Structure 1
Amino acid sequence: MTSTLPIRTETGQRAQHMVICGDDGLAHRLAVELDGVCGEIVTVVLPSASDEHGARIAELHRDPDSPVELHVSARPDERTLKAAGIQRAAALALTYRDDQVNMTAALLARTINPSVRLVVRMFNRERGRHLERLLDRAAGLCDGPARDTSTTVLSDADTAVPELVAAAAVGHGHTLQVEGKVFRGVVRAAGAPSQATDLATLAVLSGAHQDDPASQDSAETPGDDGIQLLPDTRTAYHRQFTHGRLMLEEVTHQPAEPDNRARRLRPRGWLRARLAHLPWKVFLSHQLAAVYGALAAVVVGLSTATALFADEHPWWKNVYLPLLDIFTMGDPATDEPVPRRVLQLLAGFVGLAVLPMVVAATMNATDAFRTASASHPPDDDVNGHIVLVGLGMVGTRVLARLHATGHQIVAIERDIHARGATLARQLGVPLILEDATAPGVLELARVRQSRSLLVLTRDDGQNLDIVMAVRETNPQVRVVTRLYDDNFAATVQRTLRASYPDALTRSRSVSALAAPSFAAAMMGRHVLGVMPVERGSLLFTCVDVAGHAELEGRSVHEAFRENEWRVLAVGAAAGPLPDSSGGDSLTAPRPDRTDFDWRPAQPRVLRAGDRVVLATTRRGLDILMTGVPPRR
């Protein structure tokens, strides 16, 4: 059974029709991103209109300024897709939590509309790559006008990692990654000097300072001119003393000195040092001592009884024979005296009772020894590091990214078999295999001396417990936590920032982190990312200069258009345009090496063989792509 809320007349300059099919918070977040930030017409297909996500979409639908439609259907079959308008849609996003449902719907959508741009959420990366190649090949075989019919497969983990890493390493700010370089939008307060890493002024904000450029609750003063996206140099210079400004900054990091635990150990004496640090004391636990003490008492008792009632052997046999009987290793005492046979039976029954306890205690001690041996707590002189809690799917990729960029890390994971625990040992990263909520574990990770804390476990309650404990221990540490519930994440962030106004706290849900990448992919492969700025937004694109009259034959200075677009980087147009299948938030995967110049000289003339990275408004992008300014 399907139903659709009444469709309203499209308004404004919205031109593209986007369809979203999903069953969780990502569908809602993506609809908000496409509607409020990107200005697209959106139809959302959900299994129910009565749940939390359906109610939010219905609320958007009732907003007269938001032409968002809600279509209710149990599954994305052919009838549902056609009712949602897939025939005329420019893009379709399939964000169900079931890979099989997404695959089936993607194949069906490609059959109904071969020119539709597909963005598919897949948890199995290998299967996603095969699906992407298959659907792109199917689109290429279809006749029709040349259009961007790309298929992009994304996963939550891939899209969340860059934002989490950027938040922990360099603070807040949306990130952009091109050819291995990372950039972010950073706010400079009114009067604050520019930094050497600043590349361009993206916007002049409406207030003197904003902690988060994506916030819409900035206080505008009477007579204020409001936000201005992509201002000219003169405006940016004069308003920098009275207004905050959003700068594009290149993220750089000096690699850590080679003084971590793995490098400090010299080949000579390595084995001796390793043995000295092994946790031998686990074999002296109270449990193990009690079990083996009981076993020793039983052996002494049986040896005494053997000596008293069956003393036909040397004294050492009085101990040796009971031990064989307990472990059921002796021969039947059929030819022995009656007391000896009785004692053998008694020893056998005692062995049945004691041996399981001995085995269990020994295995527990061995497992504890193995776990403790795998742990490598940080040295006492470690400071200024990043504490990473949780080495699951997302945590493992965050660990790899942080290590690749030279950051010093201390990892905490309670599961010795977690996929990230093996990687941490291979990389020589200090690893604590304990529950982060247990007393003393955070202190062992030297969280007081750290500069950032990343909490990425699968339990929202546990994440909040860790954050609150760390806030009491180190109120100034930068905290970034991943929460699954979007409303809960927003509430936690507001509360912690109100309680600790001088500390940086970022709480993000997976859907909030993933939505910008899905939105960028739906808008086409030429869009590298979308950056919300107060009530507006900026888009980052990578295009070839050839064929664009607004760019070709003009200098970098002449190609700039105030409030429309700005050239950020210039490179050679070699290889295909970058696409967004790599999954990085606000990124595209690394294209064929173009060697962009991110500080191009203003007199440099753009030629047909050049490729440029642009920051544009939505209106500016429409002009560049079509050559015709959209109607206001």
Structure 2
Amino acid sequence: MVVCGDDALAVRLAGELRDIYRQQVTLVLPDADSVGPELACSTRVVEAAPDATALREAGVAQAVALALVYEDDETNIRIALTARRLNPRIRLVIRLYNRKLGSYLAELLDQAAAVADTPAGADSTTTVLSDADTAAPALVAAVVAGTSKVLQADGLLFRAREHTPRQRREATTPALCTLALLSSTTDDPAGSDGSDRSGPAGPQLLPASMEIAHSAQRGAIVLEAVSNSPRSTRRERIGTAGLPVMELFSRRVRFALAAFTAAVFAIAFTSWVTTDDALAHAAYVTLLDLFSINDPAVGDPTERQLLQLFTGLVGLLLLPVLVAAVLEAFGSFRSATSLRRPPRGTADHVVLLGLGKVGTRVLARLRELEIPVVCVEEDPEARGISLARRLHVPVVLGDVTQDGVLEAAHIHRARAFLALTSSDTTNLEAILCARTSTPGLRVALRLYDDEFATAVHRTLRAAHPQAVTRSRSVTSLAAPAFATAMMGRQILGAIPVERRVLLFAAIDVDGLPQLEGRTIADTFNPGRWRILALDTADPAERRPDLRATRLDGQSHVSGLLFNLHPGHLLGPNDRVVIAATRQGLAELLSTRPHTSRAH
């Protein structure tokens, strides 16, 4: 397998393929010094610029799969076209941020492989992934579920939650399933540094029912659905298409208008009492005097003349207030078409710092889950500004390191803070500043280096033991998905269990003897794989990633059916969501005819 890139994702991907899947890897980098000594000793490293010569030197003509993970989309597209010409049989995994362009490119490259008369059984499929897309669910989950152990499928969010033995005994709501039995039990929300050995000393993945029943003294990882129940009805209406009427005018203008309204009612009432006119006529005359369009009260009683003078004075004072209200309303409507400021009284929201590639994807995920968001961004031309404007999400433009910026985002009333800029120091400084003002705030920050992220996480957790802290490296979150695609399949997500990992995949039953024609109970292979759900969507409407399936055209209706009957018989047209170990998934799909594809 060949991996071409220019950043830490390429190095991390090569290590994943070598350590987890035991593959022979050639790594193509513009600078070989970025490769660690351990990886350099066991992996062939080619130092070259991205071109056809580098591909030939890396042996693309004989390779099974090629990953193109350069940061520049144009470079990845150019090299992908060249690689398909050099080896029509090769499996391609391409890193692209533009998802629409990626779907077109994958279709084009698959067509090129089809017309190239590839040998029967060759897997020449093309998979387009984005590191931002693969990392976004874990970052969102850090503030929604308090953990990165999540799975998103068919518009639903699931969390792998750790239960102590006591929590297992006292649980009142049944979980969807038990994913693993832990080697040890801990109250640390970050998890334990357990062992990956098999047997009682290590975690036991996908245990059988009998093993779960006889493991009352061990902790467990269970899968449960996560719902974002709003804790307030008014304050969480942030990021919707509507503009609240109360946000049109400032508090001073509203108080002034209320005072003038009370004065008009008082004058009308006084006129009704002193002139013996009908109440409706007295109110009408008062309005005429207020707008200075009534005849002078010459020859009228003194009370009527005084009321007319006072009403005229109130009308003069009302004019500047009306002008201010019109200007404020115009400014509010203009802001609604561009960028909104955080509404007054904003609370229980997520503050998102950084609207780059990763921040934009995270913002979209948060709004899909209907979580209120306030963004902070220094660059008014950032990639995610247009998305925030389209979703009517409030944005604070400014340098987060300056005083008053986080306060403008109402950080003291936020439920969580996500720092996702491309600068590690900016993210760290922002987190420390937020913790100073709000010590118990749940925070998650993006850091480039995985070891540095681990060190920062441990330090912040020690300094604030009562608060949830998450530090994530995008490369460490994205590399497993790219590595799995290199092996010829796409996964929905991966959940770490101590030092092991569980994969979640949506696969077609057709061509798999372990699944086709068998019942749900018979397909369960403890320690290997387990069926979680059945995709009931029409085959023509199915999508590989299970993220945007809409069955009614408007509102989302999930096509996943959980709690399947053990006697349900699987047919060739069915598609299922399974949880599996890496070895189990490889074993399951190894029996599929090569003419069929797994998603």
Equivalent position of 2:14 in the other structure: 31
| Structure 2 residue 63 is matched with structure 1 residue 89 | yes
1:4-43 aligned at under 5 Å gives the runs: 18-43=1-26
Identify the range of structure 1 (98-107 vs 123-132) with the bigger mean alpha-carbon deviation. Answer: 123-132
Equivalent position of 2:303 in the other structure: none
Equivalent position of 2:531 in the other structure: 567
| Structure 2 residue 47 is matched with structure 1 residue 73 | yes
Gaps of 5+ in 1: 1-17, 63-67, 278-366, 581-586
Equivalent position of 2:378 in the other structure: 414
What is the rounded CA distance, in whole Å, between the counterparts of 1:109 and 1:374 in structure 2? 43
Equivalent position of 1:477 in the other structure: 441
Q: Deviations over 1:429-462 (max 9, x none)?
A: 4433333222233234332332210112232212
Displacement of 1:200 after TM fit? 1.4
1:295-306 aligned at under 5 Å gives the runs: none
What is the rounded CA distance, in whole Å, between the counterparts of 2:537 and 2:250 in structure 1? 55
Equivalent position of 1:285 in the other structure: none
For residue 99 of structure 1, the aligned residue among 73, 87, 94 is: 73
| Cα pair 2:91 2:125 within 8 Å, conserved | yes
| Cα pair 1:213 1:533 within 8 Å, conserved | no
| Structure 2 residue 518 is matched with structure 1 residue 554 | yes
Equivalent position of 1:185 in the other structure: 160
Equivalent position of 2:175 in the other structure: 198
Equivalent position of 1:455 in the other structure: 419
Equivalent position of 2:481 in the other structure: 517
Equivalent position of 1:60 in the other structure: 39
| Cα pair 1:542 1:614 within 8 Å, conserved | yes
**1:481 maps to amino acid:** L
What is the rounded CA distance, in whole Å, between the counterparts of 1:192 and 1:487 in structure 2? 32
What is the SS of the residue equivalent to 1:93? strand
| Structure 2 residue 196 is matched with structure 1 residue 231 | no
Equivalent position of 2:32 in the other structure: 49
What is the rounded CA distance, in whole Å, between the counterparts of 1:590 and 1:603 in structure 2? 30
**2:129 maps to amino acid:** L
- C-alpha distance 195-496 of structure 1, shift in aligned 2 (>3 A): farther
Q: Deviations over 1:1-44 (max 9, x none)?
A: xxxxxxxxxxxxxxxxx321112100122123333344544332
What is the rounded CA distance, in whole Å, between the counterparts of 1:238 and 1:76 in structure 2? 56
| Cα pair 2:196 2:498 within 8 Å, conserved | no
1:144-293 aligned at under 5 Å gives the runs: 144-193=119-168, 194=171, 196=173, 198-209=175-186, 211=188, 217-218=193-194, 224-239=200-215, 241-255=216-230, 258-260=233-235, 272-273=249-250, 276=253
Displacement of 1:561 after TM fit? 0.9
What is the SS of the residue equivalent to 1:406? coil
1:312-323 aligned at under 5 Å gives the runs: none
Equivalent position of 1:13 in the other structure: none
- C-alpha distance 124-449 of structure 1, shift in aligned 2 (>3 A): closer
**2:86 maps to amino acid:** I
1:346-357 aligned at under 5 Å gives the runs: none
- C-alpha distance 620-272 of structure 1, shift in aligned 2 (>3 A): closer
| Cα pair 1:117 1:148 within 8 Å, conserved | yes
What is the rounded CA distance, in whole Å, between the counterparts of 2:99 and 2:477 in structure 1? 18
What is the rounded CA distance, in whole Å, between the counterparts of 1:408 and 1:371 in structure 2? 18
| Structure 2 residue 381 is matched with structure 1 residue 398 | no
Equivalent position of 1:340 in the other structure: none
Q: Deviations over 1:502-528 (max 9, x none)?
A: 322111223223223322322224533
| Structure 2 residue 102 is matched with structure 1 residue 132 | no
**1:23 maps to amino acid:** D
What is the rounded CA distance, in whole Å, between the counterparts of 1:544 and 1:602 in structure 2? 19
Q: Deviations over 1:517-542 (max 9, x none)?
A: 32232222453333333333222222
| Cα pair 1:207 1:219 within 8 Å, conserved | no
| Structure 2 residue 355 is matched with structure 1 residue 379 | no
What is the rounded CA distance, in whole Å, between the counterparts of 1:526 and 1:168 in structure 2? 26
**2:149 maps to amino acid:** H
Displacement of 1:375 after TM fit? 5.4
What is the rounded CA distance, in whole Å, between the counterparts of 2:189 and 2:46 in structure 1? 35
- C-alpha distance 571-395 of structure 1, shift in aligned 2 (>3 A): closer
What is the rounded CA distance, in whole Å, between the counterparts of 2:116 and 2:550 in structure 1? 27
Equivalent position of 1:352 in the other structure: none
Q: Deviations over 1:166-225 (max 9, x none)?
A: 11211113332222222232222333234747311111121113757886x327999943
What is the rounded CA distance, in whole Å, between the counterparts of 2:65 and 2:86 in structure 1? 13
Aligned residues: 501
Equivalent position of 1:596 in the other structure: 560
- C-alpha distance 119-157 of structure 1, shift in aligned 2 (>3 A): same
- C-alpha distance 399-276 of structure 1, shift in aligned 2 (>3 A): farther
What is the rounded CA distance, in whole Å, between the counterparts of 1:525 and 1:276 in structure 2? 60
| Structure 2 residue 108 is matched with structure 1 residue 108 | no
Q: Percent identity?
A: 44
| Cα pair 2:147 2:190 within 8 Å, conserved | no
| Cα pair 1:578 1:588 within 8 Å, conserved | yes
What is the rounded CA distance, in whole Å, between the counterparts of 1:552 and 1:266 in structure 2? 54
TM-score (norm. length: structure 2): 0.74
TM-score (norm. length: structure 1): 0.71
Q: Deviations over 1:276-327 (max 9, x none)?
A: 49xxxxxxxxxxxxxxxxxxxxxxxxxxxxxxxxxxxxxxxxxxxxxxxxxx
- C-alpha distance 73-223 of structure 1, shift in aligned 2 (>3 A): closer
Q: Deviations over 1:68-99 (max 9, x none)?
A: 41322212444543443434433211112233
Displacement of 1:559 after TM fit? 1.3
What is the rounded CA distance, in whole Å, between the counterparts of 2:482 and 2:114 in structure 1? 22
**2:494 maps to amino acid:** V
What is the rounded CA distance, in whole Å, between the counterparts of 2:166 and 2:570 in structure 1? 34
What is the rounded CA distance, in whole Å, between the counterparts of 2:244 and 2:344 in structure 1? 16
Displacement of 1:257 after TM fit? 5.1
What is the rounded CA distance, in whole Å, between the counterparts of 1:393 and 1:622 in structure 2? 32
Identify the range of structure 1 (425-434 vs 495-504) with the bigger mean alpha-carbon deviation. Answer: 425-434
| Cα pair 1:207 1:220 within 8 Å, conserved | no
What is the SS of the residue equivalent to 1:612? strand
- C-alpha distance 230-515 of structure 1, shift in aligned 2 (>3 A): same
Identify the range of structure 1 (169-178 vs 125-134) with the bigger mean alpha-carbon deviation. Answer: 125-134
What is the rounded CA distance, in whole Å, between the counterparts of 1:198 and 1:115 in structure 2? 44
| Structure 2 residue 407 is matched with structure 1 residue 443 | yes
What is the rounded CA distance, in whole Å, between the counterparts of 1:174 and 1:220 in structure 2? 18
Q: Deviations over 1:76-125 (max 9, x none)?
A: 44454344343443321111223333223212221232222111123455
What is the rounded CA distance, in whole Å, between the counterparts of 1:438 and 1:456 in structure 2? 17
| Cα pair 1:520 1:527 within 8 Å, conserved | yes
Displacement of 1:402 after TM fit? 1.3
What is the rounded CA distance, in whole Å, between the counterparts of 1:206 and 1:504 in structure 2? 23
What is the rounded CA distance, in whole Å, between the counterparts of 1:480 and 1:120 in structure 2? 28
